[in-house]
Every structure is written in C-alpha cells, then in structure tokens.
Amino acid sequence: MTLSEENYLKAIYHLEQLSGSGVSTNALAEEMQTKASSATDMVKKLADKQMLIHVPYQGATLSDAGRSHAVKVIRKHRLWETFLVEKLNFKWDEVHDVAEQLEHIKSEKLIDELDRFLEFPKYDPHGDPIPDKNGKFNTIEKITLTQALENKSYRCIGVKDDSSQFLKYLDSNQIGLGTSFEVVHKEPFDQSVKIKLKDKELVVSQSVAKNLFLETL
Amino acid sequence: MTLSEENYLKAIYHLEQLSGSGVSTNALAEEMQTKASSATDMVKKLADKQMLIHVPYQGATLSDAGRSHAVKVIRKHRLWETFLVEKLNFKWDEVHDVAEQLEHIKSEKLIDELDRFLEFPKYDPHGDPIPDKNGKFNTIEKITLTQALENKSYRCIGVKDDSSQFLKYLDSNQIGLGTSFEVVHKEPFDQSVKIKLKDKELVVSQSVAKNLFLETL
DNA sequence: ACCTTTTTTTAGTTTTGTCTAAAAATATAA
DNA sequence: TTATATTTTTAGACAAAACTAAAAAAAGGT
Ligand SMILES: [Mn+2]
Ligand SMILES: [Mn+2]
Ligand SMILES: [Mn+2]
Ligand SMILES: [Mn+2]
C-alpha cells in the first residue's frame, strides 16, 4: 500500500462510518480535497487490489482486507498522536499533521512497541478510540452537546472536529477532555447552549455544540 | 525537499566525507543503487535548487545549504535510531531501515522534542555522532582494529558497517559498543586479528577488523 | 598523437498520481 | 415522460522519478 492508497482507504473508511453505506465518488473527492476523476482512478486501483468493491456509478464499499488496512492506519495515527502529547510536549491541536506523516511508516514492531511504551492507551488525545493489535476498539455511545438536556451535568470525552482552530477555541475557554459542566440553557432561536463550568458561565454556538462529545454524569 | 532529494543529499554528503572531494556521478549512482543517468538527473535538479554545484563531467559538490540539509536528515536518522533502541526495545541491527523512513518526517518541533526526550544524546546506537540543533557534532578520532597494536587494550566505540549481518555477527561474539579487549596477535598472512575479551580468545577476519572503530584504553 | 575504454550526459520511455475537458450514466423535476 | 441538472467515468495530458539505449566527453595506453 502506497501513502496515497492508504490515505484514500482511510477516507473511504471514515465516510462509510458516517453514512453507514457505500461511498460516492464525489464524497470521496471532497474528503480527499481532489477531483472526482482522481477519486475514480484510485477507486479502480483499490478495487484491482481487492481492497474494495466498486460498482460503476454506485460507489465503493471496503472489503474486509480494505477495512482491516484502514483500521491499521488509524491505529498508527492515534498511537502517534498519543505519543506526541504524552511524551513530546505537543498540544492536542498540534499533533494531527505530524501524525498524518507518521501513520505511513512501515514497521509492525515499531507500532506494537510504541503501543507497549505508551502502556496500551485506549483513547487518543481527541478522545478517539485506539484499535488494538487485532483491530478491536471501544465504541462507547457518545452524545453531542446539541443533544444534551438542560439542568443535567456532562463530561467532555471527545471532539468531532479535531482542527487546530476548534481545539484552540476550546483551550481558550478551558474546555478539554475530562472537563465537566452543567447545561444551563438551550436557546431555541439559534441552538446556542449556555453551560456552567467551574462557576463560570459560557455560551457556545451550535457549531461548537455539535462538535463536542459528552457522557452523562 | 522530497524524500528522494533528501536521500541523494545524504548520499552525496557521505561520499564527500569519504573522498574529501567532489562526488562523481558513477559513485553516486553506486551509493544510491541506481543508474548513472538517474544520478545525473537528480544532480541537475539539486543544482537548480542551489543544494550543490555541478560542473558537467566534473562531479558535484554540496553547497552550504545542501550540506546543512544533509546534516539535518542525518540528525533525524540518528535520533530516531537512538529512540528505537532506548525506548522501544529494538536491537542495534533492527533500527536502520525504520530510521530510513522516519528521517523524512517533516516537523522541527518533533525532532527537537525527541532530542530533549532522549536527553540530548551525543551518539547513536552504532557509535555515530548525533548533530545538535545547529548541526554541530563531535568528531573524535577513531582507529579501526586493523590499525591497533599487539598487546594493547582498546574499547569498541563504533562500527563502520552497520548492516544487520555484521551487527548480528558482533552480537554472537559478545562484541558491542563499550566492549573492551586486548589485541593478542595480528596475523601478517591474512590480516586476521586475535583478541582477548572476558578471558576468551577470538580470531576475527580482516573484513571484521576494518569495520570496528576503537579508542585506546 | 591516436585509438580504446570508461565515465557522463542526453534522449526517449515508463509508472504513479494528479489534472482538465468531454462523454456517459443517473437523478430530479416539470 | 421527457427535459434538465448532477454525478460519474473516460480520454488525454502533465510532472516526478525512475529506466534503457545511444551519444558525447574524458581518461588511459601504446
Ligand atoms: Mn488526527
Ligand atoms: Mn486524533
Ligand atoms: Mn542507520
Ligand atoms: Mn546509526
């Protein structure tokens, strides 16, 4: 698998998770920031390599081999992100781009030893589950802040958007993984949410609310 | 700098160190395990990018920018090798191929934090000096076992050949970095050397002797 | 100096991954 | 159902990095 093929596999895996079904050429091109014709080319190549099934005009569906490889790349990405934060003083908004490079390093021993070195972490710095050596990982149900109820308390356990912009916004408002707060008010007009954390009140927009994963306290 | 350009820069740097002068196209092709025509293509490209000076039919000489970049890649290679051995339970014969991949990861913060995490090591697992952030590194004079004198004692401080084959040979004979021994006899007929280490005597061939770096005790 | 061998460069091709433009298939909507 | 819009695929081109084959330059030997 080349670097490019791995990135496409990861993108297809991601889109399959979101939609629950096959992945359209346009959606894939959009996700990969490229043209539909390029996506078609790669889908055909990956179909040749038995990584997915492609029915022309009907989209692509990962094979077991393709899904397994995608999960391996995701495992590497999340382990490296964890390493960068835990050992190399990176902030959670600085790790993604470097992990995008590191996830393509080829060495089974490297990644398994890294896993051991980090003491087999279950979640990465953004709250995403880390697949183990066999590709298994936790999928606890997470709600977003848009789904939370007034006067109830929650803990932040993940982010849907892991862009540097969003993460820095959270930092500047003292919200991180593990942060607990109470939902004070949900504004019907613009779907903004007022929360109380550490005795401070804060209003967050809908764009923020829908990207915060919570667990009920 | 692309991965390929970086590998060529490293090779040219290496050959310049060995010969002390400019690098011929053939030597470069040999080092890179490729054809002379490919070497010419890349030398021209690197000359365009001001990484080296190329006089047709006269070979290539690194510019300051080229040498500086080569040293940066070498710094990364050696820091990663150190990380693999110190933290991830790799043996010294297992690190090279993985480091060849890791040395191309682009992130200044990554490598400087790795350096700090490893507590600014001065030498890699093969005894090669690690350039610091500014590209400076120790160049202590090293002799090879072929140059050692009878009835004198030495300590192994490096290897010239870092192939897995050679390193495994050393392992199986209990020779590693820091190992001390006495030179018992130098055989004029075939340049083999008999040494005494930990009360055991061992005869090593000339091929072995010329790849072992020593310091006088 | 002249011929031969070796080294280096040039010219043209291949593969991978991208692109634009155009054609074909599918979806939508009057 | 038929026209229109959208999506997807095909066709052809390009850049990077490799290759082979051939031409050109330099080095060696007599
Ligand atoms: Mn990430
Ligand atoms: Mn992550
Ligand atoms: Mn090495
Ligand atoms: Mn080394």
**Chain A partners of B101 at a C-beta cutoff of 8 Å?**
105-107
List of chain A residues whose C-beta atoms are within 8 Å of the C-beta of residue B109: 88, 90, 94
**Chain A 57-116 residues whose Cβ is under 7 Å from strand D:** 57-59
Closest chain A residue to B80, measured at CA = A110
| A197-209 residue pLDDT tens | 999 999 999 999 9
What is the number of other CB atoms lying within 10 angstroms of the CB of residue A115?
Answer: 20
State the pLDDT at residue B89.
98
- Tell me whether residues B88 and A101 touch, CB distance under 8 A: no
Q: How many angstroms is C1' of C23 away from CA of B108?
A: 48
Q: Domain-by-domain residue ranges, chain B? A: 3-62, 143-216
The predicted structure's pLDDT at residue A144: 97
pLDDT in tens, B17-28: 999 899 999 999
Kindly report the number of other CB atoms within 10 A of residue B205's CB atom: 12
Residues in B closer than 8 angstroms to A113, CB to CB, are 88-90
Domain over B3-62 is classified CATH 2.30.110.10: no
Four-point Cα dihedral B12, B17, B23, B27, nearest 10: -80
Cβ <8 Å between A101 and B102: no
Q: Do domains B3-62 and B143-216 have the same CATH topology?
A: no
Q: How far is CA B80 from CA B96, B97, B100, in A?
A: 9, 11, 9
Asked if B195 and B202 touch (Cβ cutoff 8 Å), the reply is yes
Q: Is B117 on the interface with A (CB under 8 A)?
A: yes
| Separation CA A23–CA A156 (nearest Å) | 30
pLDDT of amino acid A194:
98
Closest CA to A97 of A126, A119, A121, A77: A77
Q: What average pLDDT does this structure show over A47-53? A: 96
CATH fold of B143-216 = SH3 type barrels. (2.30.30)
User: To the nearest whole number, what is the mean pLDDT of chain B?
Assistant: 97
